[in-house]
């Protein structure tokens, strides 16, 4: 019997442990909410024999309230509907009451013969209050946080009513160093049957020396019956004194968005208030308590990051003093801004009475008279000043009896200044004057209007010569003088910039392809013919055109023999078919009296002229209308006596229009030009620093393409000069990111008073601009432009203005002519402001941001569909930037490129961008170097450029390339630049770490000079050991002592393989033949040298 008892005890113990392992059982203490359905949670296995529940611990004398035996439920509680069982054996209470607070027992029978497992559960009932947080009377019973202004002696009450168990309340003051218990508070608890109500009262009486106090009502031991254990009230104690803080004066243009900074860090609380300019009539407009409670008390304002206040489309009614009060250590901090609104005048510059608005004019006047100028529709009221423009003229003309008249027009003012003048000089009959804004608000309108006074000797002809108040009453003589000045406008396009090296292109007589030769004096002498200046985006075509104009004006140009020069930007001539109308609208003052017929007569009667048409690739009418003057000029059907210069991107050369044009191709900064500019930037005597910048360029081969563009090379040199050895880049993405960041930083340094908190989001968050740039590339636009209204609507005015000022976006005025029947004369000609990216690479940079995010969010199929619309040939940097901006999600982009023709080499550059480390492609470069690196005539320009960049990377890593093979793609050698030019216009600079250069030109006869140039180039590279000419015809004898002397020093082996016979150059002059059956006995260069 004893043995059996021991056995049963052992079995029960094992079963109890087995239940614990399986997770069976119940929590010993559980909570039930009164008035809600409840459950005593247990977890029993499904294969048990039965479960029995008691509402006591006496399982012998009491009846079970519910049980389930073999899936059949019964019991008193089950029959009344008070209790039920869940599938896992948990006890379900249909509605919890106070009486359900009890001790329950649950027995689990694994089988009919085994003893049960006993689970004892203590059920505690909870009564939740009506509000699940402490209620502060000042905030009402809905808000958990609020702001209130209280006088000393006022009280704040906090309460939680009818809870079980009891909840204790107490007040604290929240500070920088934590919560401080308020000792002067009163607390009370009222018991009502099974429930209790708690109260806490604090008196606002010398509670703090700060302007604000954040008081917190806390709940202790809430047992889960509250969703939040605290409520907060922000209390203002006293008015902010004007003498305590000096407001910062700030001016904003009407309609702009205002951002007022509160603090640069996180704050426990803050309050924004508004006063009038006299610090009266304060109004609370917004407050925040941490991140949990942010409330704006007026729809006119918004709270942004770090509590900055935003006022959208500010107007005059919102002028005033804005104060931000936020938590400090011992005292609160206060920032105050005196916000004023200015309204730009109707005209940019002051209006001179007697002149046409915004036009430089000459007034014919007596030696004594009056002159007036006005600013119309301006706010605030300003002061005007009349003075001589040149200080040296100040004693020749005196002013007296100045009268200032101000007219109020609602929110704006019309200010007029009238002054009497007297000519003191007897030797001068013409003096330039200036009307400008003076006084305290001159910085808002830093514009002035200059004009000339032309004095008559015979004052009898003008007995009462004074200027009129109405500008339309100007004397006719004034208009005639303006007309005479209009002709001068044709030659006022002045920009001083260094000249880009160029080359003149002619047709190769044997191969019908273009061949570059150096032009004399930088630009060839122009004759009555057509010249095309071509080049990649941003290479300097427009700059060169403006340089030609400038030099012609200064009479220092080879073009000075021309009597007339006309310069037109084609992108500004949308819908304008007449060249004479274009000249009038683009070059002459708006008030000119010259008609298109007058301009036609002037041009036709000129002895010689030159017409510069800038930006054919951006010409809006290129594909719309073939019957306009521009097309006739390009076809030499108009202006045959003029020389025409056309600038365009290389791929947009109009060969179908005028195939006989001479072509001047701009190729950017070569090594010589780069070195010259570096020496210009670095002070004389600092040769080591100049050499350091050159060395850094060589160590960063990835920058080669960028530094061909003058704009980016100039930026790099100045940054490298400032940053020193700290400036190093290994990817195009890192380099361009740094350039963009420098543009933003430079703008902020030029505008130190600008709010950084306002502009910083523009720099970081530009998703809409990304989408705009990406869409323009998807539409295959040659030159993406938008109207200002269109892009402002998408970006917002403030964002747009910021990017215009930084220089990433650029504005241009474009003229339109509407010839619809019935159009009024005033609407016949109109202008629009067009907007574009300053450089194509900026467009690709922001488009790449969109693509990098798109690659992350899109499926593989959807992404590939998108990428098919983006040609890597023209948009390689979009792909490279996208891989560098988002390396984690660029895998699909790389997979797509690997599947495209000629994509393998380009993929290596994208992988480099992805990893940011040349080591990531070192293995691929080493494998490539073992074989033959080849560029042929069928290679796309993208593949050619990618191959050359990989060679540059190999050079930087000192990995030697065995053979570099040019197959049917060689054009010529430019010795001055030290590079080979391919038929595709891609240039190969000096090759380093390349053992053999092989040139195959099937059936082509290379001229003597071409061969000499190739050998000269090879000897200048330094590392080339062999040069091979394949399948081409060469001169029998080579003679050039200078080149051959260099070849002897470098010991380069030179081999010629016209067909099946190999020749090597003996004595560096004659070819010596070696008969070789190439197909049967392949012979290497080293074998020939034996």
Query: What pTM was computed for the model?
Result: 0.45
Residue 675 vs residue 651, higher pLDDT: 675
* Range of weakest confidence among 363-372, 745-754, 1026-1035, 1041-1050: 1041-1050
CA distance 999 to 989: 16
Of the CA atoms within 13 Å of residue 652, those in its CB half-sphere come to: 20
Residue 921 vs residue 168, higher pLDDT: 168
**DSSP characters over 1042-1072:** HHHHHHHHHT-EEEEESSSEEEEEETTTEEE
CA distance 724 to 688: 12
pLDDT band at 474 (very low <50, low <70, confident <90, very high): very low
Q: In this predicted structure, what is the pLDDT of residue 15?
A: 35
For tokens 């006719």, the residue is: 476
Residue 460 gets which letter from DSSP? Answer: G
Pairing of strands 42-43, 25-26: antiparallel
Lay out the sheet containing 514-518: strands in order across.
Answer: 514-518, 502-507, 662-666, 530-535, 642-649, 609-614, 564-569
pLDDT at 1082 over 80: no
Contacts 24+ apart (CB under 8 A), 903-910: 903/872, 905/943, 905/946, 905/947, 905/950, 906/872, 906/876, 906/879, 906/942, 906/943, 906/946, 908/946, 908/950, 909/876, 909/880, 909/946, 909/949, 909/950, 910/879, 910/880, 910/883
Number of CB atoms found within 10 A of residue 810's CB: 15
Beta strands in 75-128 (DSSP E): 83-85, 91-93, 102-109, 117-126
pLDDT at 392 over 50: yes
pLDDT at 575 over 50: yes
Q: Quick one: 502-666 is in which CATH superfamily?
A: P-loop containing nucleotide triphosphate hydrolases (3.40.50.300)
Per-position b or e across 217-254, b if 16+ CB within 10 A of its CB: bbbeebeebbeeebbbbbbbbeebeeeeeebeeeebeb
Pairing of strands 293-296, 283-289: antiparallel
- Which residue in 960, 961, 904, 965 sits closest to 934, CA to CA? 965
- Which residue in 666, 664, 680, 650 sits closest to 710, CA to CA? 666
Q: In this predicted structure, what is the pLDDT of residue 133?
A: 92
Q: What is the mean pLDDT of residues 527-549?
A: 76
Q: In this predicted structure, what is the pLDDT of residue 134?
A: 93
CA angle 455, 457, 458 (to 5 degrees): 115
CB 79 within 8 A of CB 141: no
Contacts 24+ apart (CB under 8 A), 413-416: 413/377, 413/378, 413/379, 413/380, 413/381, 413/382, 414/374, 414/375, 414/376, 414/377, 414/378, 415/374, 415/375, 415/378, 415/381, 415/382, 415/383, 415/384, 416/372, 416/373, 416/374, 416/384, 416/469
For tokens 């009163």, the residue is: 186
Lay out the sheet containing 320-326: strands in order across.
Answer: 248-253, 333-342, 320-326, 269-275, 283-289, 293-296
CB 345 within 8 A of CB 375: yes
CATH no. for 351-458:
2.60.40.10
pLDDT tens digit string along 315-369?
998 999 998 888 765 667 888 899 999 998 988 889 998 887 656 688 888 899 9
pLDDT tens digit string along 936-945?
877 766 567 7
pLDDT at 14 over 50: no
Q: In this predicted structure, what is the pLDDT of residue 839?
A: 82
Q: Where are the alpha helices (DSSP H) in 422-496?
A: 476-486
Torsion of Cα atoms, 880 then 885 then 891 then 893, to 10°: -40
Query: Is cis: bond before 491, omega within 30 of 0?
Result: no
CA distance 612 to 606: 16
Residue 164 gets which letter from DSSP? Answer: B
CA distance 8 to 30: 32
CA distance 761 to 803: 12
Q: In this predicted structure, what is the pLDDT of residue 519?
A: 33
Residue 41 burial class via C-beta count within 10 angstroms: exposed 0-12, middle 13-18, buried 19 and up: middle
pLDDT at 504 over 80: no
CA distance 518 to 508: 15
CB 51 within 8 A of CB 85: yes
Query: Is cis: bond before 536, omega within 30 of 0?
Result: no
CA angle 853, 858, 860 (to 5 degrees): 120
Q: What is the mean pLDDT of residues 1032-1044?
A: 72
Q: What percent of the chain has pLDDT over 70?
A: 75
Q: In this predicted structure, what is the pLDDT of residue 5?
A: 38
Radius of gyration of the chain (CA): 43
Average pLDDT taken over every residue of the chain: 77
> The tokens of 91 are what?
């006890």
- Which residue in 191, 222, 197 sits closest to 31, CA to CA? 222
CA distance 994 to 990: 10
pLDDT tens digit string along 148-161?
888 878 889 999 99
Residue 780 to residues 724, 774, 776, 843, 869: CA-CA distances in angstroms? 40, 10, 7, 13, 8
Q: In this predicted structure, what is the pLDDT of residue 517?
A: 32
For tokens 């009614």, the residue is: 317
Q: What is the mean pLDDT of residues 450-479?
A: 49
CB 263 within 8 A of CB 326: yes
Going from N- to C-terminal start, the domains of the chain cover: 2-126, 135-236, 248-342, 351-458, 502-666, 671-728, 756-916, 923-1088
Q: In this predicted structure, what is the pLDDT of residue 1032?
A: 86
Q: In this predicted structure, what is the pLDDT of residue 100?
A: 93
Residue 817 vs residue 468, higher pLDDT: 817
pLDDT at 24 over 70: yes
CA distance 918 to 912: 6
Domain 248-342 has CATH 2.60.40.10: yes
CB 182 within 8 A of CB 235: no
For tokens 């191709």, the residue is: 665
Phi-psi region of 538 (alpha: psi -120 to 50; beta: other; left: phi over 0): left
CA distance 559 to 548: 8
Chain centroid to Cα 350, Å, comes to 35
Number of CB atoms found within 10 A of residue 551's CB: 17
Q: In this predicted structure, what is the pLDDT of residue 649?
A: 78
Lay out the sheet containing 145-149: strands in order across.
Answer: 145-149, 230-236, 212-220, 168-175, 178-181
For tokens 């509402």, the residue is: 55
pLDDT at 1087 over 50: no
CB 533 within 8 A of CB 541: yes
pLDDT band at 246 (very low <50, low <70, confident <90, very high): confident
Of the CA atoms within 13 Å of residue 98, those in its CB half-sphere come to: 7
Residue 167 vs residue 889, higher pLDDT: 167
Q: In this predicted structure, what is the pLDDT of residue 488?
A: 31
pLDDT band at 871 (very low <50, low <70, confident <90, very high): confident
Residue 1017 DSSP SS3: helix
Cross-strand pairs, 665: 503, 534
CB 912 within 8 A of CB 918: yes
Asked whether this chain's domains 135-236 and 502-666 adopt the same fold, the reply is no
Q: In this predicted structure, what is the pLDDT of residue 330?
A: 62
Q: Quick one: 135-236 is in which CATH superfamily?
A: Immunoglobulins (2.60.40.10)
- Class of domain 2-126 as given by CATH: mainly beta
Residue 11 vs residue 797, higher pLDDT: 797
Residue 381 DSSP SS3: coil
Residue 888 to residues 34, 100, 435, 702, 900: CA-CA distances in angstroms? 53, 58, 60, 22, 21
């Amino acid at each position: 019997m004893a043995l059996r008892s021991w056995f049963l005890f052992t079995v029960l113990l094992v079963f109890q442990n087995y239940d614990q392992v399986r997770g069976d059982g119940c929590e010993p203490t559980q909570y039930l909410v009164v008035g809600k359905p409840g459950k005593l949670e247990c977890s029993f296995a499904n294969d048990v024999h039965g479960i029995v529940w008691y509402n006591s611990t006496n399982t012998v004398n009491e009846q079970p309230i519910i049980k389930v035996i073999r899936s059949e439920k019964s019991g008193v509680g089950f029959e009344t509907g008070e209790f039920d069982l869940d599938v896992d054996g948990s006890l379900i209470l249909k509605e919890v009451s106070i009486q359900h607070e009890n001790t329950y027992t649950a027995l689990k029978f694994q089988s009919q013969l085994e003893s049960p497992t006993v689970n004892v559960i203590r059920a505690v009932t909870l009564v939740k209050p009506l509000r699940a947080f402490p209620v502060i009377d000042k905030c009402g019973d809905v808000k958990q946080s609020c702001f209130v202004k209280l006088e000393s002696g006022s009280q704040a009450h906090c309460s939680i009513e009818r809870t079980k168990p009891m909840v204790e309340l107490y007040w604290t003051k929240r500070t920088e160093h934590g919560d401080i218990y308020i000792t002067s508070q009163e607390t009370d608890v009222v018991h009502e049957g099974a429930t209790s109500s708690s109260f806490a009262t604090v008196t606002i009486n010398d509670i703090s020396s700060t302007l604000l106090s954040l008081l917190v009502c806390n709940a202790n031991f809430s047992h889960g019956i509250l969703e939040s254990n605290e409520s907060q009230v922000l209390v203002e104690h006293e008015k902010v004194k004007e003498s305590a803080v000096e407001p910062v004066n700030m001016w904003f243009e009407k309609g702009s968005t205002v951002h007022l900074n509160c603090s640069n860090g996180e704050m426990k609380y803050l309050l924004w208030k508004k006063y009038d300019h006299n610090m009266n009539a304060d109004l609370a407009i917004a407050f925040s308590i941490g991140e949990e409670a942010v409330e704006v008390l007026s729809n006119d304002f918004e709270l942004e990051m770090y509590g900055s206040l935003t006022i959208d489309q500010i107007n005059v009614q919102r002028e005033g003093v804005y104060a931000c009060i936020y938590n400090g250590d011992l005292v609160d901090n206060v920032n105050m801004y005196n916000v004023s609104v200015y309204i730009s005048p109707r005209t940019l510059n002051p209006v001179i009475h007697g002149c046409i608005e915004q036009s430089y004019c000459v007034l014919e006047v007596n030696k004594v008279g009056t002159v007036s100028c006005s600013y119309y529709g301006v706010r605030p009221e300003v002061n005007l000043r009349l003075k001589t423009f040149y200080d040296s003229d100040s004693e020749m003309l005196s002013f007296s009896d100045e009268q200032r008249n101000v007219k109020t027009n609602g929110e704006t003012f019309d200010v007029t200044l009238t002054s009497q003048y007297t000519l003191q000089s007897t030797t001068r009959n013409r003096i330039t004057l200036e009307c400008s804004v003076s006084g305290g608000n001159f910085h808002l309108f830093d514009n002035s209007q200059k004009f000339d006074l032309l004095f008559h000797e015979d004052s009898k002809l003008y007995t009462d010569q004074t200027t009129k108040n109405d500008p339309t009453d100007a004397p006719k003589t004034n208009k005639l003088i303006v007309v005479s000045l209009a002709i001068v406008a044709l030659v006022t396009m002045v920009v001083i910039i260094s000249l880009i090296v160029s080359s003149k292109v002619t047709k190769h007589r044997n191969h019908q392809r273009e061949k570059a030769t150096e032009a004399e004096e930088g630009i060839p002498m122009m004759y009555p013919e057509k010249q095309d200046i071509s080049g990649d985006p941003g290479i300097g075509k427009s700059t060169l055109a403006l340089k030609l104009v400038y030099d012609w004006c200064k009479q220092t140009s080879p073009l000075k023999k021309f009597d007339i020069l006309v310069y037109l930007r084609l992108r500004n001539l949308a819908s304008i078919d007449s060249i004479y109308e274009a000249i009038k609208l683009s070059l002459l003052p708006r008030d000119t009296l010259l008609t298109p017929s007058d301009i036609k007569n002037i041009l036709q009667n000129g002895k010689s002229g030159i017409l510069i048409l800038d930006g054919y690739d951006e010409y809006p009418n290129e594909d719309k209308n073939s019957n306009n003057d521009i097309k006739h000029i390009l076809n030499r059907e108009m202006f045959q006596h003029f020389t025409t210069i056309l600038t365009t991107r290389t791929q947009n050369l109009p060969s179908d229009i005028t195939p006989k044009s001479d072509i001047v191709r701009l190729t950017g900064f070569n090594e010589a030009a780069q070195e010259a500019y570096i020496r210009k930037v670095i002070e004389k005597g600092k040769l080591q620093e100049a050499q350091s910048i050159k060395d850094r360029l060589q160590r960063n081969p990835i920058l080669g393409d960028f530094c061909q563009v003058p704009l980016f090379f100039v930026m790099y040199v100045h940054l490298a000069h400032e940053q020193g050895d700290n400036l190093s880049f290994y990817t195009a993405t890192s380099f361009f990111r740094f350039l963009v960041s420098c543009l933003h930083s430079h703008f902020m340094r030029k505008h130190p008073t600008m709010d950084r908190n306002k502009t910083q989001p523009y720099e970081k968050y530009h998703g809409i601009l990304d989408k705009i740039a990406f869409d323009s590339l998807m539409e295959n636009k040659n030159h993406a432009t938008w109207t200002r209204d269109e892009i402002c609507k998408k970006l917002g005015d403030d964002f747009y203005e910021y990017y215009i000022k930084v220089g990433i976006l650029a504005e241009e005025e474009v003229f339109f002519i509407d010839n619809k029947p019935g159009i009024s004369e005033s609407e016949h000609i109109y202008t629009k402001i067009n907007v574009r990216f300053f450089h194509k690479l900026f467009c690709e940079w922001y488009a790449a941001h969109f693509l990098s995010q798109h690659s992350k969010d899109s499926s593989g199929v959807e992404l590939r569909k998108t990428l098919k619309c983006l040609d890597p040939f023209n948009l390689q940097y979009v792909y490279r930037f996208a891989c560098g901006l988002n390396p984690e999600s660029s895998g699909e982009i790389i997979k797509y490129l690997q599947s495209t023709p000629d994509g393998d080499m380009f993929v290596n550059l994208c992988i480099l961008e992805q990893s940011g480390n040349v080591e990531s492609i070192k293995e691929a470069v080493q494998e490539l170097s073992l074989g033959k690196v080849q560029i042929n005539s069928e290679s796309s320009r993208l593949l050619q450029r990618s191959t050359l960049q990989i060679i540059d990377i190999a050079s930087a890593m000192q990995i030697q390339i065995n053979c570099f093979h040019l197959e049917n793609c060689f054009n010529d050698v430019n010795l001055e630049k030290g590079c080979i030019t391919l038929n595709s216009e891609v240039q190969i600079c000096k090759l380093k770490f390349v053992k053999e250069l092989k040139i195959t030109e099937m059936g082509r006869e290379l001229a003597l000079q071409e061969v000499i140039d190739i050998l000269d180039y090879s000897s200048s590279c330094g590392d080339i050991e062999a040069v091979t000419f394949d399948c081409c015809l060469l001169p029998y004898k080579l003679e050039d002592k200078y080149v051959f002397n260099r070849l002897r020093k470098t010991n380069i082996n030179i081999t010629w393989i016209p067909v099946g016979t190999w020749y090597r150059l003996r004595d560096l002059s004659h070819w010596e033949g070696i008969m070789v059956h190439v197909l049967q006995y392949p012979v290497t260069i080293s074998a020939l040298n034996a």
